[in-house]
Amino acid sequence: MSGQASSAGPVLPVAVDAMGGDKAPKEIVAGALRAAEEGFAVVLVGHPDRMGDTGGLPVIAASEVIEMDEDAGRGVRTKKDASLLRAAEAVRDGKASSMVSAGNTGATMASALFRMGRIRGVSRPAIATPIPVLGSIPTVLIDAGANAECTAGWLVQFAQMGSAFATQRFGIAKPRVGLLSIGEEESKGSPLVKEAHALLAAGEAGPDVNFVGNVEGRDVMSDRIDVVVTDGFTGNVVLKTLEGSMNFAMSAVLGAFGTNEDTRRAGEVLLPVLLPMATELDPETYGGAVLLGVDGICVISHGSSSSTAIHNAVKVAAAAVSEDLVGRLASAVAA
Protein backbone atom coordinates (compact mmCIF):
# COMPACT_ATOMS: atom_id res chain seq x y z
CA MET A 1 0.00 0.00 0.00
CA SER A 2 2.74 2.41 0.88
CA GLY A 3 4.05 2.64 -2.65
CA GLN A 4 0.59 3.29 -4.04
CA ALA A 5 -0.25 5.75 -1.35
CA SER A 6 2.60 8.07 -2.15
CA SER A 7 2.61 7.62 -5.92
CA ALA A 8 1.23 10.24 -8.27
CA GLY A 9 -2.16 9.94 -9.97
CA PRO A 10 -5.77 10.48 -8.90
CA VAL A 11 -6.32 10.58 -5.14
CA LEU A 12 -8.12 7.45 -3.94
CA PRO A 13 -11.09 8.00 -1.64
CA VAL A 14 -11.23 7.25 2.07
CA ALA A 15 -13.67 4.34 2.57
CA VAL A 16 -16.09 5.23 5.38
CA ASP A 17 -18.07 2.38 6.96
CA ALA A 18 -21.51 3.96 6.97
CA MET A 19 -23.05 1.18 9.05
CA GLY A 20 -20.71 1.17 12.05
CA GLY A 21 -21.18 3.15 15.25
CA ASP A 22 -23.90 3.96 17.78
CA LYS A 23 -25.08 6.85 15.61
CA ALA A 24 -24.81 5.06 12.27
CA PRO A 25 -25.70 5.66 9.55
CA LYS A 26 -26.93 9.25 10.03
CA GLU A 27 -23.96 10.86 11.81
CA ILE A 28 -21.46 8.80 9.85
CA VAL A 29 -22.86 9.89 6.50
CA ALA A 30 -23.06 13.50 7.73
CA GLY A 31 -19.39 13.40 8.76
CA ALA A 32 -18.36 11.93 5.42
CA LEU A 33 -20.32 14.65 3.64
CA ARG A 34 -18.62 17.38 5.64
CA ALA A 35 -15.22 15.96 4.70
CA ALA A 36 -16.26 15.72 1.03
CA GLU A 37 -17.42 19.35 1.09
CA GLU A 38 -13.90 20.26 2.21
CA GLY A 39 -12.49 18.50 -0.82
CA PHE A 40 -11.59 15.09 0.63
CA ALA A 41 -12.33 12.10 -1.62
CA VAL A 42 -14.73 9.82 0.26
CA VAL A 43 -16.63 6.65 -0.56
CA LEU A 44 -19.35 5.27 1.71
CA VAL A 45 -19.54 1.54 2.36
CA GLY A 46 -22.85 0.00 3.36
CA HIS A 47 -26.31 -1.04 2.36
CA PRO A 48 -27.54 1.51 -0.23
CA ASP A 49 -31.11 1.27 1.05
CA ARG A 50 -30.17 1.71 4.69
CA MET A 51 -27.92 4.75 4.77
CA GLY A 52 -30.46 7.46 4.02
CA ASP A 53 -29.61 10.45 1.87
CA THR A 54 -25.95 10.18 0.90
CA GLY A 55 -25.86 13.59 -0.74
CA GLY A 56 -24.45 12.16 -3.93
CA LEU A 57 -21.42 10.50 -2.35
CA PRO A 58 -20.20 7.36 -4.14
CA VAL A 59 -21.12 4.08 -2.45
CA ILE A 60 -19.56 0.63 -2.26
CA ALA A 61 -22.47 -1.72 -1.65
CA ALA A 62 -22.36 -4.16 1.27
CA SER A 63 -25.51 -5.98 2.31
CA GLU A 64 -24.48 -7.04 5.82
CA VAL A 65 -23.50 -5.33 9.08
CA ILE A 66 -21.42 -6.72 11.93
CA GLU A 67 -23.26 -5.38 14.93
CA MET A 68 -21.55 -3.41 17.73
CA ASP A 69 -21.83 -6.18 20.32
CA GLU A 70 -21.47 -9.12 17.95
CA ASP A 71 -18.62 -11.61 18.38
CA ALA A 72 -15.94 -10.16 16.12
CA GLY A 73 -14.46 -13.46 14.98
CA ARG A 74 -17.81 -14.94 14.05
CA GLY A 75 -18.90 -11.71 12.39
CA VAL A 76 -15.99 -11.62 9.94
CA ARG A 77 -16.23 -15.37 9.28
CA THR A 78 -19.94 -15.48 8.53
CA LYS A 79 -20.79 -12.07 7.08
CA LYS A 80 -18.68 -11.98 3.95
CA ASP A 81 -20.64 -9.02 2.58
CA ALA A 82 -20.24 -6.93 5.74
CA SER A 83 -19.49 -3.25 5.29
CA LEU A 84 -16.31 -3.59 7.36
CA LEU A 85 -14.91 -6.37 5.20
CA ARG A 86 -15.88 -4.55 2.01
CA ALA A 87 -14.14 -1.40 3.24
CA ALA A 88 -10.96 -3.33 4.00
CA GLU A 89 -11.14 -5.06 0.61
CA ALA A 90 -11.47 -1.70 -1.11
CA VAL A 91 -8.17 -0.67 0.47
CA ARG A 92 -6.54 -3.98 -0.42
CA ASP A 93 -7.76 -3.76 -4.02
CA GLY A 94 -6.64 -0.18 -4.56
CA LYS A 95 -10.17 1.21 -4.72
CA ALA A 96 -9.77 3.22 -1.53
CA SER A 97 -6.72 4.78 0.07
CA SER A 98 -7.76 3.94 3.63
CA MET A 99 -10.73 3.05 5.80
CA VAL A 100 -12.58 4.64 8.72
CA SER A 101 -15.06 2.87 11.00
CA ALA A 102 -16.83 3.66 14.27
CA GLY A 103 -18.19 0.12 14.38
CA ASN A 104 -17.29 -3.03 16.31
CA THR A 105 -13.62 -2.52 17.18
CA GLY A 106 -12.69 -6.18 17.23
CA ALA A 107 -14.32 -6.73 13.86
CA THR A 108 -12.64 -3.63 12.43
CA MET A 109 -9.24 -4.96 13.48
CA ALA A 110 -10.01 -8.43 12.15
CA SER A 111 -11.29 -7.06 8.84
CA ALA A 112 -8.20 -4.91 8.33
CA LEU A 113 -5.83 -7.68 9.35
CA PHE A 114 -7.45 -10.43 7.28
CA ARG A 115 -7.97 -8.35 4.15
CA MET A 116 -4.95 -6.02 4.14
CA GLY A 117 -2.45 -8.30 5.84
CA ARG A 118 0.44 -7.14 7.99
CA ILE A 119 3.35 -4.90 7.07
CA ARG A 120 6.38 -7.13 6.52
CA GLY A 121 8.19 -7.68 9.81
CA VAL A 122 5.30 -6.65 12.08
CA SER A 123 4.46 -9.32 14.65
CA ARG A 124 1.15 -7.88 15.80
CA PRO A 125 -0.78 -4.77 14.75
CA ALA A 126 -1.59 -2.47 17.66
CA ILE A 127 -4.00 0.39 18.29
CA ALA A 128 -2.46 3.84 18.70
CA THR A 129 -4.84 6.25 20.46
CA PRO A 130 -4.10 9.95 20.96
CA ILE A 131 -4.76 10.99 24.57
CA PRO A 132 -5.53 14.72 24.84
CA VAL A 133 -3.16 16.84 26.90
CA LEU A 134 -4.38 20.34 27.74
CA GLY A 135 -2.24 23.02 26.12
CA SER A 136 0.07 20.48 24.55
CA ILE A 137 0.37 17.80 21.88
CA PRO A 138 -1.59 14.60 22.64
CA THR A 139 0.21 11.56 24.03
CA VAL A 140 0.05 8.43 21.86
CA LEU A 141 -1.07 5.37 23.83
CA ILE A 142 -0.10 2.08 22.16
CA ASP A 143 -1.49 -0.66 22.42
CA ALA A 144 -4.92 0.63 23.38
CA GLY A 145 -6.62 -2.73 23.06
CA ALA A 146 -5.66 -4.91 20.11
CA ASN A 147 -3.58 -7.49 22.00
CA ALA A 148 -4.79 -8.52 25.46
CA GLU A 149 -1.60 -10.54 25.95
CA CYS A 150 1.79 -9.46 24.64
CA THR A 151 5.42 -10.50 24.50
CA ALA A 152 8.27 -8.12 25.27
CA GLY A 153 9.31 -8.22 21.61
CA TRP A 154 5.91 -6.95 20.54
CA LEU A 155 6.19 -4.07 23.01
CA VAL A 156 9.50 -3.13 21.36
CA GLN A 157 7.68 -2.99 18.01
CA PHE A 158 4.91 -0.92 19.57
CA ALA A 159 7.63 1.55 20.63
CA GLN A 160 8.91 1.68 17.05
CA MET A 161 5.48 2.06 15.49
CA GLY A 162 4.19 4.47 18.13
CA SER A 163 7.22 6.68 17.65
CA ALA A 164 6.86 6.74 13.86
CA PHE A 165 3.15 7.50 14.26
CA ALA A 166 3.76 10.40 16.69
CA THR A 167 6.16 11.88 14.16
CA GLN A 168 3.74 11.55 11.25
CA ARG A 169 0.59 12.51 13.14
CA PHE A 170 1.83 15.28 15.43
CA GLY A 171 5.11 16.33 13.83
CA ILE A 172 7.24 15.42 16.83
CA ALA A 173 10.79 15.03 15.53
CA LYS A 174 12.08 12.76 18.28
CA PRO A 175 9.14 11.55 20.36
CA ARG A 176 9.86 10.66 23.99
CA VAL A 177 8.81 7.02 24.37
CA GLY A 178 7.95 5.70 27.83
CA LEU A 179 7.07 2.20 29.01
CA LEU A 180 4.01 2.10 31.26
CA SER A 181 4.84 0.60 34.64
CA ILE A 182 4.17 1.01 38.34
CA GLY A 183 7.32 2.91 39.21
CA GLU A 184 10.06 4.67 37.33
CA GLU A 185 12.81 2.31 38.47
CA GLU A 186 13.65 -0.44 35.99
CA SER A 187 13.19 -2.98 38.79
CA LYS A 188 9.47 -2.12 39.02
CA GLY A 189 6.68 -3.81 37.14
CA SER A 190 5.46 -7.14 35.86
CA PRO A 191 7.88 -9.68 34.36
CA LEU A 192 6.69 -8.55 30.90
CA VAL A 193 7.50 -4.91 31.63
CA LYS A 194 10.89 -5.71 33.13
CA GLU A 195 11.82 -7.74 30.06
CA ALA A 196 10.58 -5.04 27.69
CA HIS A 197 12.46 -2.41 29.70
CA ALA A 198 15.70 -4.36 29.33
CA LEU A 199 15.22 -4.69 25.56
CA LEU A 200 14.34 -1.02 25.08
CA ALA A 201 17.17 0.16 27.34
CA ALA A 202 19.57 -2.01 25.31
CA GLY A 203 18.53 -0.15 22.17
CA GLU A 204 16.60 -3.05 20.60
CA ALA A 205 14.13 -0.60 19.09
CA GLY A 206 16.90 1.04 17.11
CA PRO A 207 18.47 4.50 17.10
CA ASP A 208 15.26 6.27 16.01
CA VAL A 209 13.39 5.40 19.20
CA ASN A 210 14.03 7.84 22.04
CA PHE A 211 13.31 5.56 25.01
CA VAL A 212 13.13 7.58 28.23
CA GLY A 213 12.34 4.74 30.64
CA ASN A 214 9.32 3.74 32.67
CA VAL A 215 6.39 6.08 33.12
CA GLU A 216 3.32 5.83 35.35
CA GLY A 217 -0.40 6.20 34.83
CA ARG A 218 -0.28 9.82 35.95
CA ASP A 219 2.09 10.68 33.09
CA VAL A 220 -0.33 9.69 30.32
CA MET A 221 -2.16 13.04 30.38
CA SER A 222 1.01 15.05 30.98
CA ASP A 223 3.40 16.76 28.59
CA ARG A 224 6.34 14.79 30.00
CA ILE A 225 5.96 12.07 27.41
CA ASP A 226 4.89 11.65 23.77
CA VAL A 227 4.35 7.90 23.41
CA VAL A 228 3.27 5.46 26.14
CA VAL A 229 3.91 1.80 25.34
CA THR A 230 1.90 -0.93 27.05
CA ASP A 231 0.09 -4.20 26.41
CA GLY A 232 -3.43 -4.01 25.00
CA PHE A 233 -5.11 -5.09 28.22
CA THR A 234 -3.51 -2.39 30.36
CA GLY A 235 -3.82 0.16 27.56
CA ASN A 236 -7.53 -0.42 27.15
CA VAL A 237 -8.09 -0.22 30.90
CA VAL A 238 -6.20 3.10 30.98
CA LEU A 239 -8.23 4.46 28.09
CA LYS A 240 -11.55 3.53 29.66
CA THR A 241 -10.43 4.81 33.06
CA LEU A 242 -9.54 8.19 31.56
CA GLU A 243 -12.82 8.28 29.71
CA GLY A 244 -14.71 7.54 32.91
CA SER A 245 -12.85 10.04 35.02
CA MET A 246 -13.16 12.85 32.47
CA ASN A 247 -16.91 12.27 32.20
CA PHE A 248 -17.02 12.21 35.97
CA ALA A 249 -15.13 15.50 36.28
CA MET A 250 -17.29 17.16 33.67
CA SER A 251 -20.51 16.03 35.38
CA ALA A 252 -19.17 17.30 38.69
CA VAL A 253 -18.45 20.77 37.29
CA LEU A 254 -21.74 21.01 35.42
CA GLY A 255 -23.51 19.79 38.56
CA ALA A 256 -21.85 22.57 40.55
CA PHE A 257 -23.13 25.14 38.04
CA GLY A 258 -26.68 23.94 38.63
CA THR A 259 -26.65 24.38 42.40
CA ASN A 260 -28.50 27.72 42.57
CA GLU A 261 -29.18 30.94 40.68
CA ASP A 262 -25.76 32.45 41.52
CA THR A 263 -23.80 29.40 40.42
CA ARG A 264 -25.91 29.21 37.25
CA ARG A 265 -24.88 32.76 36.37
CA ALA A 266 -21.24 32.01 37.25
CA GLY A 267 -21.43 28.96 35.04
CA GLU A 268 -22.60 31.09 32.13
CA VAL A 269 -19.53 33.29 32.55
CA LEU A 270 -17.21 30.30 32.67
CA LEU A 271 -18.70 28.24 29.85
CA PRO A 272 -17.04 30.23 27.04
CA VAL A 273 -13.69 29.49 28.68
CA LEU A 274 -14.43 25.87 29.52
CA LEU A 275 -15.93 24.88 26.17
CA PRO A 276 -12.72 25.28 24.14
CA MET A 277 -10.97 23.16 26.79
CA ALA A 278 -13.68 20.52 26.55
CA THR A 279 -13.19 20.51 22.78
CA GLU A 280 -9.46 20.14 23.21
CA LEU A 281 -10.02 17.22 25.57
CA ASP A 282 -12.75 15.62 23.50
CA PRO A 283 -11.48 12.45 21.79
CA GLU A 284 -13.75 13.36 18.85
CA THR A 285 -11.37 16.20 18.05
CA TYR A 286 -8.70 13.65 17.22
CA GLY A 287 -10.95 11.56 15.01
CA GLY A 288 -10.02 8.26 16.49
CA ALA A 289 -7.29 5.72 16.89
CA VAL A 290 -5.19 4.18 14.14
CA LEU A 291 -4.49 0.47 13.77
CA LEU A 292 -0.73 0.37 13.20
CA GLY A 293 0.96 -2.57 11.53
CA VAL A 294 -1.62 -3.60 8.95
CA ASP A 295 -0.66 -2.98 5.32
CA GLY A 296 -2.97 -0.01 4.84
CA ILE A 297 -4.52 2.80 6.85
CA CYS A 298 -7.36 1.87 9.20
CA VAL A 299 -8.81 4.53 11.50
CA ILE A 300 -10.90 3.22 14.40
CA SER A 301 -13.29 5.86 15.67
CA HIS A 302 -15.13 5.74 18.99
CA GLY A 303 -18.44 3.89 18.92
CA SER A 304 -20.22 7.06 20.00
CA SER A 305 -18.76 9.10 17.12
CA SER A 306 -20.76 12.03 15.83
CA SER A 307 -20.33 13.63 12.43
CA THR A 308 -17.48 15.75 13.83
CA ALA A 309 -15.50 12.68 14.82
CA ILE A 310 -16.01 11.07 11.42
CA HIS A 311 -15.13 14.29 9.64
CA ASN A 312 -11.89 14.43 11.63
CA ALA A 313 -11.23 10.74 11.12
CA VAL A 314 -11.35 11.20 7.35
CA LYS A 315 -8.78 13.98 7.65
CA VAL A 316 -6.58 11.74 9.82
CA ALA A 317 -6.83 8.91 7.30
CA ALA A 318 -6.08 11.15 4.32
CA ALA A 319 -3.05 12.67 6.05
CA ALA A 320 -1.73 9.24 7.02
CA VAL A 321 -1.94 8.22 3.37
CA SER A 322 -0.36 11.35 1.91
CA GLU A 323 2.39 11.27 4.54
CA ASP A 324 3.03 7.58 3.86
CA LEU A 325 2.45 6.30 7.39
CA VAL A 326 2.59 2.69 6.18
CA GLY A 327 6.01 3.23 4.64
CA ARG A 328 7.23 4.94 7.82
CA LEU A 329 6.02 2.04 9.95
CA ALA A 330 7.70 -0.47 7.63
CA SER A 331 10.99 1.40 8.01
CA ALA A 332 10.53 1.69 11.77
CA VAL A 333 10.09 -2.03 12.40
CA ALA A 334 12.96 -2.87 10.02
CA ALA A 335 15.34 -0.80 12.19
Q: Which residues bind a copy of itself (CB under 8 A)?
A: 71, 134, 145, 148-149, 180, 182, 187-191, 193, 216-222, 230, 232-234, 236-253, 255-257, 259, 262-263, 265-267, 269-270, 273-274, 277, 281
- Min dist CB 93 to a copy of itself, Å, is 32
Nearer to a copy of itself, 208 or 219 (CB): 219
Distance (Å, whole) CA 69 – CA 53: 26
Q: Which residues contact 227 (CB under 8 A, 6 or more apart)?
A: 139, 140, 142, 159, 162, 163, 165, 166, 175, 176, 177, 178
- Min dist CB 330 to a copy of itself, Å, is 28
Cα separations (Å) of 12 from 78, 111, 214?
Answer: 29, 20, 41
Distance (Å, whole) CA 247 – CA 257: 15
Q: What are phi and psi of 98, to 5 degrees?
A: -175, 170
- Min dist CB 286 to a copy of itself, Å, is 16
Nearer to a copy of itself, 97 or 129 (CB): 129
Quick one: residue 145, left, alpha or beta (phi over 0 = left, psi -120 to 50 = alpha)? left
- Min dist CB 177 to a copy of itself, Å, is 17
- Min dist CB 141 to a copy of itself, Å, is 11
Distance (Å, whole) CA 101 – CA 28: 9
Nearest 5 degrees, angle CA 275-CA 256-CA 254? 35
Nearest one of 250, 215, 124 to 258, comparing CA atoms: 250
Nearer to a copy of itself, 50 or 265 (CB): 265
- Min dist CB 192 to a copy of itself, Å, is 9
Nearer to a copy of itself, 40 or 233 (CB): 233
Nearer to a copy of itself, 11 or 256 (CB): 256
Nearer to a copy of itself, 49 or 262 (CB): 262
